[in-house]
Amino acid sequence: MAYFEEESYTDIKFNWQTWKQIFAYLKPLKKYLFIGFFSVLMLAAVDVAYPLINRYAIDRIIGENDLSLLPRFIIMYLIYVIVLASMVFTFIRVAGHIQNQLAYTIRKKAFEKLQALPFSYYDRTPIGWIMARMTSDSRNLSDILSWGLIDLSWGFLMMIGITVAMFVINVKLALITLSVLPVLIYVSIFFRKRILKAYREIRKQNSKITGAFNEGITGAKTTKTLVLEDSNFQDFDRLTSNMRRHSIRAAVFAGLYFPTILFIASIATGLVFYYGGIDVSNTVISIGVLYVFISYVGQFFEPVMQLANILARFQQAQASAERVLSLINQEPDIKDRPEVLAQYGTMTAPKKENWEPLYGDVSFKQVGFKYHKGEQVLKTFSLDIKRGESVALVGHTGAGKSTIVNLICRFYEPTEGEILLDGRPMNDRSIGWLHDKLGYVLQSPHLFSGTIMENIRYGRLDATDEEVIASAKMVEADRFIESFEAGYKTEVGEGGSRLSVGQKQLISFARALLADPKILILDEATSSVDTQTEKSIQHAIETVMAGRTSFVIAHRLSTIVNADRILVLQHGEIIESGNHESLIAAKGHYYKLYTNQFQDLA
pTM, two decimals, is: 0.67
> What would the pLDDT profile of 280-333 be if each residue is shown by its tens digit?
888 888 888 888 888 888 788 777 767 766 776 777 677 788 888 888 888 888
Mind listing the pLDDT tens digit for each residue in 338-356?
A: 999 999 988 878 898 999 9
Please tell me the predicted confidence (pLDDT) of residue 1: 39
Convert the pLDDT of each residue in 202-237 to its tens digit: 767 776 777 676 666 666 666 666 666 777 777 777
Round to whole Å and give the CA distance between 96 and 92: 6
Q: What average pLDDT does range 573-593 have in this prediction?
A: 91
- Is residue 199's pLDDT more than 80? no
Q: What is the tens place of the pLDDT at every residue in 379-434?
A: 889 999 999 999 999 988 888 888 899 899 898 889 899 999 999 999 999 998 99
Residue 499: pLDDT above 60?
Answer: yes
| C-beta separation of 516 from 438 below 8 A | no
Digit-coded pLDDT (tens) for 430-465: 998 998 888 888 777 788 889 999 999 998 888 999
Whole-angstrom Cα distance, residue 545 to residue 354?
27
Q: In the predicted model, is pLDDT for residue 278 greater than 70?
A: yes
Reported residue count of the chain is: 602
pLDDT of residue 373: 64
Regarding the domain delimited by 342-437+519-525+533-602, which CATH topology (the fold level of the hierarchy) does it fall under?
A: Rossmann fold (3.40.50)
**pLDDT, position 556:** 75
Q: How far apart are CA 74 and CA 59, in angstroms?
A: 15
More confident residue, 132 or 173: 173
Amino acid in the structure at residue 265: A
Which pLDDT score is estimated for 91?
Answer: 84
Rounded Cα gap, residues 533 and 514, in angstroms: 19
User: What is the dotted CATH code of the domain comprising 16-328?
Assistant: 1.20.1560.10
What mean pLDDT value characterizes the chain?
83
Sketch the domain layout of the chain as residue ranges.
16-328, 342-437+519-525+533-602, 438-516
The pLDDT value recorded for residue 479 is 86
- Rounded to the nearest 10 degrees, what angle do helices 149-169 and 171-178 cross at? 140
Q: What percent of the chain has pLDDT over 70?
A: 89
**Strand intervals (E) in 413-571:** 416-421, 424-425, 438-441, 519-523, 549-553, 565-570
Distances 459 to 134, 233, 435, 463, 547 between C-alpha atoms, Å: 27, 41, 11, 8, 19
285 φψ region: left (φ > 0), alpha (ψ -120 to 50), beta (else): beta
pLDDT at 3: 41
User: What pLDDT score does 224 carry?
Assistant: 64
Tell me the per-residue pLDDT of 151-166, one tens digit each, with 9 for 90 and over: 888 888 888 998 899 8
pLDDT for residue 566 is more than 90: yes
Chain centroid to Cα 518, Å, comes to 33
When pLDDT is averaged across residues 111-138 and rounded to a whole number, the result is 79
Beta strands in 243-352 (DSSP E): none
Q: Do 438-516 and 342-437+519-525+533-602 fall under one CATH topology?
A: yes
Average pLDDT over residues 227-248: 77
pLDDT surpassing 60 at residue 7? no
Q: Own/partner pairs for 458-462, CB < 8 Å, 24+ apart?
A: 458/511, 459/510, 459/511, 459/512, 459/513, 459/514, 459/515, 460/514, 460/515, 460/516
> Could you say which of 3.40.190.10, 3.40.50.620, 1.10.240.10, 3.40.50.300 is the CATH number of the domain covering 438-516?
3.40.50.300
pLDDT tens for 37-95 read: 899 899 989 989 988 888 888 887 887 777 888 888 889 889 989 998 999 899 889 98
CA 262, distance to chain mean position in Å, is 39
Q: What is the 3-state secondary structure (H, E, C) of 203-218?
A: HHHHHHHHHHHHHHHH
